């Protein structure tokens, strides 16, 4: 068993989910780590390819996260996670830089190609937790928009029988970004996938899903839930209000950190819903 698998198995056995929060910069990373530490919650720090490029690269991010863990005395389990990497090369580079959780997202390709790419990543990133997706999560991520396509039991069977992943993100109706209309998550199929294949499931597009749906997904096998948009909305609102009310302030530290409290509040709310408090 991989060193880090225990974290997922604990969540699976104790019926909670570990939050995955996407990071964008030093401040977000610091706020998320501090709030997770205050709640003793394990956490995945998600880095999309766009965010990695924005922050300078995988080595910068690994250095920043390791430095924060040390300087802030963070004791909870923290998984630095590459999110939705659509190519094998970036997975290898992130692994070499120290990422120990990697999502190879080849869901845009055929199932055969998805299997081939996922296997290549698993073979190279031996010590890392590997996440992969079949079907299509809808909405927008890193400026790419896609339609929802619900994965099937058969696709899941073929995919999981031919790969060796640690967590599985079957697309079952969730979307990235803001939901248009009522979310339609197929929790029945989620349960079927979970009981048939007994693998920790990942729910993408956690933002905008009501508490009862998030909890129902956890009941049906989800062990990790990804949140990005809702944190952005919370931070954005506070910063805009601050700038509007303090037009004379130009210190970037004051402007950026005016979103700290609302971002932390959102993180805490999700930890409460997911049941991950005191699990770290």
Binding residues for Zn ion, per CB under 5 A? 204, 226
Neighbouring C-beta atoms of residue 254, cutoff 10 Å: 11
The distance of closest approach from Cβ of residue 203 to ligand G3H in the complex, given in angstroms and rounded to an integer, is 8
Mention every residue, 6+ apart, whose C-beta is less than 8 A from residue 187. Answer: 172, 213, 216, 217, 220
What region does 175 belong to: left with phi over 0, alpha with psi -120 to 50, or beta? beta
Q: Which residue has the tokens 């910069």?
A: 25
Residues 125-154 that bind ligand G3H (CB under 6 A): none
Which of 119, 176 has the CB closer to ligand G3H?
176
Q: Given candidates 19, 42, 200, 206, which one binds ligand G3H under the rule CB under 6 A?
A: 206
What is the distance of C-alpha 247 from the center of its chain?
35
Q: Is 21 in the site for ligand G3H (CB under 6 A)?
A: no
CA atoms within 13 A on the CB side of 42: 21
The distance of closest approach from Cβ of residue 92 to ligand G3H in the complex, given in angstroms and rounded to an integer, is 20
Catalytic residue among 59, 71, 83, 96: 83
Report CA-CA distances (Å) from 64 to 24, 25, 46, 198.
12, 9, 14, 35
Which of 21, 159 has the CB closer to ligand G3H?
21
Question: Per residue in 134-148, is it b (16+ CB within 10 Å) or e — as a string?
Answer: bbbbbbebeeeebeb
Contact predicate 222/195, CB 8 Å: no
What is the distance of C-alpha 252 from the center of its chain?
28
Which of 30, 176 has the CB closer to ligand G3H?
176
Q: Given candidates 81, 100, 204, 224, which one binds ligand G3H under the rule CB under 6 A?
A: 204
Residue 107 binds which of Zn ion, ligand G3H, none (CB < 5-8 A, kind-dependent): none
Residues 58-77 that bind ligand G3H (CB under 6 A): none
Q: Given candidates 226, 238, 258, 266, which one binds ligand G3H under the rule CB under 6 A?
A: 226
Clarify whether 83 is annotated catalytic: yes
The distance of closest approach from Cβ of residue 169 to ligand G3H in the complex, given in angstroms and rounded to an integer, is 8
Q: Given candidates 19, 46, 170, 173, which one binds ligand G3H under the rule CB under 6 A?
A: 46
Catalytic residues: 83
Q: Which residues bind to ligand G3H, rule: CB under 6 A?
A: 22, 46, 83-84, 176-177, 204-207, 226-230
């Amino acid at each position: 068993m991989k060193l880090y698998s225990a974290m997922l198995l604990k969540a699976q056995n104790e019926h909670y989910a570990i939050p995955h929060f996407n990071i964008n910069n030093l401040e977000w990373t610091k706020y998320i780590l501090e709030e997770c530490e205050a709640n003793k919650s394990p956490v995945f720090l998600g880095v999309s390819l766009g965010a990695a490029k924005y922050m300078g690269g995988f080595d910068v991010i690994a250095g920043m996260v390791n430095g924060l863990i040390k300087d802030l005395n963070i004791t909870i389990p923290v998984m630095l996670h590459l999110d939705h990497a659509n190519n094998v090369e970036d997975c290898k580079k992130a692994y070499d830089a120290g990422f120990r959780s990697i999502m190879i997202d080849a869901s845009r390709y055929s199932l055969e190609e998805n299997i081939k790419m996922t296997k290549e990543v698993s073979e190279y990133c031996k010590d890392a937790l590997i996440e992969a997706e079949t079907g299509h999560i809808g909405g927008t991520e890193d400026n790419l928009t896609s339609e929802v396509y619900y994965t099937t039991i058969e696709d899941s069977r073929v995919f999981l029988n031919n790969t060796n992943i640690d967590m599985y993100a079957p697309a079952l109706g969730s979307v990235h970004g803001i939901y248009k209309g009522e979310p339609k998550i197929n929790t029945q199929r989620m349960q079927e996938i979970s009981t048939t294949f007994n693998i920790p499931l990942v729910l993408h597009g956690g933002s905008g899903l009501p508490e009862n749906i998030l909890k129902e997904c956890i009941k049906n096998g989800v062990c990790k839930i990804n949140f990005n948009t809702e944190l952005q909305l919370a931070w954005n609102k506070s910063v805009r209000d601050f700038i509007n009310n303090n037009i004379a302030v130009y210190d970037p530290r004051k402007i950026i950190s005016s979103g700290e409290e609302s971002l932390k509040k959102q993180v805490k709310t999700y930890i409460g819903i997911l049941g991950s408090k005191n699990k770290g």
